[in-house]
Copies of this chain bind each other. A is one copy, B any other.
Amino acid sequence: MGTARPIEIARLGEPRIASPLTLSTAIGDGIGNFVPDRARVRFQAEIGTGIDDPDLLFEKAGPRERLFFEPAKTRAAIATCGGLCPGLNNVIRSAVLELHHNYGVPEILGIRYGYQGLNPAAAHPPVALTPDFVEDIHKDGGSVLGSSRGPQPVQAMVDYLAAANIQVLLLVGGDGTQRGAHEIAAEIRKRKLAISVIGIPKTIDNDIMYVRRSFGFVTAIEEAKKVFDCAHNESKGVPYGIGLVKVMGRESGFIAAVATIASQEVNFCFVPEVTMRLDGAKGFLDVLKNRMLARNHAVIVVAEGAGQELMPSAPAETDASGNRKHQDIGVFLKQRIESYFEAERIPVSVKYIDPSYTIRSVAANSDDSLLCDSYARNAVHAAMAGKTDALIGFWNACFMHVPIAMAVESKSRVSPESDLWNGVIAATGQPRTWG
């Protein structure tokens, strides 16, 4: 394996308890297998392209033959943090079913409203999660536990975990959440507590490192695509109609880019990763004018984090999750388009659509349902084996363990040199650069 670098995962101690799962260690006996700790997932799949991924070897996720926690004496908890995302209830459900039916963990707490539920000061007591409670929850969007943005005091949360005698903590959330998970794990380590903290990546923007596809993303694409098709109909429904849609994507434009290719009705797609220029010859407004004169209508998709540099500077603000607050590029763009065409005396009609809440609160589709099931069960396996401070990654079709600190170092972005962006260029016919 040459110079490939193995990535190690923290663990609470030696796993000595025999797993109750009815799996085998033999290949070829027709029985599903425990995953040995030595099993690795290679990160690098492309070689010789000039932009090859680093040659890393992650621990393969999956059920271990030996557990750190004795199931019958284990108390588990799960929380969902940050914005809604399709599939949260599927993750909760599969984690509960795996803990209860397969491991025999007797008690599972549902932490209410994200990190708030770990802070007794917020006064949201947990609910007991049972197979009956979760039976049908995957049919609904949202989260039965609720969620919230932003951190809570680490000391208070670890005090609570210790007092509530929780050994397994599953935290479903984005990079802000996972930074919090890492701090909790560090405090647990400092206090020498035996509590496993496992992160399940949740990002509707699909921008977490070492996570090829986060759950909810393809469901969001399906919904976004429907909206783009509506914007197309609106744009063609009036003289000089322009359909303008703002979608999620603070720092990464995956939703905008992928849904643009899926829809094939979009004429201009803007993402944070590609610089936007409005003015001047071959600037966007000029190109848009030419299209409007030639074709009478246009559909524009803009990720919320695109074009921030165009807007008058505002005091730096962050939301409760610590994300930089953006000025609203959608509203800004609508106004700029309208004033530009007014000056050009072309009577455009801009239909502006912001579908964010309706994209993220629907139930997961089938493909995401599967992904949720795997993320959740692998998180349970990792926790029961005593892994900690680890995120469940997904790469090269394998689930794997990623140190949380490593996963939150940076974010996935849409490379303007990628096949994905080539697909956007092909689908829209837009120029690669503006101005």
Residues of chain A having any CB pair with chain B under 8 Å:
1-2, 22-24, 27-33, 35-36, 38-42, 44-51, 57, 60, 62-63, 84, 93, 97-98, 101-102, 113, 116, 122, 124, 136, 138-144, 146-148, 212, 218, 221-222, 225-227, 229-234, 236-239, 241, 243, 258-259, 261-264, 274, 351, 353-355, 357-358, 361-362, 365-367, 369-370, 373-374, 377, 395-399, 416-419, 421-423, 425-427, 429, 432-433
Distance A239 CA – B150 CA, assembled complex (angstroms): 13
Residues of B within 8 A of A225 (CB): 366, 369
Shortest Cβ gap from A3 to chain B (Å)? 11
Q: From the candidates B36, B57, B365, name the one contacting A50 in the complex (CB within 8 A).
A: B36
Task: Given A2-B1, A236-B146, verify A369-B261 contact (CB < 8 Å).
Answer: yes
Shortest Cβ gap from A264 to chain B (Å)? 7
Once the chains bind, are B39 and A361 in contact (CB under 8 Å)?
Answer: no
Once the chains bind, are A42 and B44 in contact (CB under 8 Å)?
Answer: yes
Distance A425 CA – B426 CA, assembled complex (angstroms): 43
A/B interface sample: 15 pairs, CB < 8 A? A2-B2, A28-B417, A29-B417, A41-B45, A45-B45, A45-B398, A49-B60, A93-B264, A143-B236, A230-B361, A230-B362, A231-B361, A233-B362, A258-B370, A358-B358
Once the chains bind, are B50 and A40 in contact (CB under 8 Å)?
Answer: no
Once the chains bind, are A261 and B139 in contact (CB under 8 Å)?
Answer: no
Q: From the candidates B361, B365, B396, name the one contacting A222 in the complex (CB within 8 A).
A: B365
Residues of B within 8 A of A57 (CB): 47
Shortest Cβ gap from A395 to chain B (Å)? 8
Once the chains bind, are A47 and B1 in contact (CB under 8 Å)?
Answer: yes
Residues of B within 8 A of A237 (CB): 84, 142-143, 146-147, 361
Distance A340 CA – B51 CA, assembled complex (angstroms): 54
Distance A31 CA – B415 CA, assembled complex (angstroms): 9
Shortest Cβ gap from A328 to chain B (Å)? 13
Residues of B within 8 A of A141 (CB): 229-230, 233
User: In the complex, what residue of chain B is closest to A124 when comparing beta carbons?
Assistant: B239
Distance A238 CA – B319 CA, assembled complex (angstroms): 14
Once the chains bind, are A422 and B32 in contact (CB under 8 Å)?
Answer: yes
Distance A237 CA – B356 CA, assembled complex (angstroms): 14
Residues of B within 8 A of A47 (CB): 1, 39-42, 57
Shortest Cβ gap from A212 to chain B (Å)? 6
Residues of B within 8 A of A231 (CB): 357, 361
Q: From the candidates B23, B142, B218, B432, name the one contacting A22 in the complex (CB within 8 A).
A: B432
Once the chains bind, are B396 and A45 in contact (CB under 8 Å)?
Answer: yes
Distance A229 CA – B46 CA, assembled complex (angstroms): 40
Once the chains bind, are B230 and A374 in contact (CB under 8 Å)?
Answer: no
Shortest Cβ gap from A48 to chain B (Å)? 5
Residues of B within 8 A of A44 (CB): 42
Q: From the candidates B42, B49, B124, B417, name the one contacting A30 in the complex (CB within 8 A).
A: B417
Once the chains bind, are B31 and A416 in contact (CB under 8 Å)?
Answer: yes
Once the chains bind, are B419 and A62 in contact (CB under 8 Å)?
Answer: yes
Once the chains bind, are B366 and A259 in contact (CB under 8 Å)?
Answer: yes
Distance A373 CA – B2 CA, assembled complex (angstroms): 36
Shortest Cβ gap from A12 to chain B (Å)? 23
Distance A231 CA – B222 CA, assembled complex (angstroms): 18
Once the chains bind, are A373 and B423 in contact (CB under 8 Å)?
Answer: yes
Residues of B within 8 A of A2 (CB): 1-2
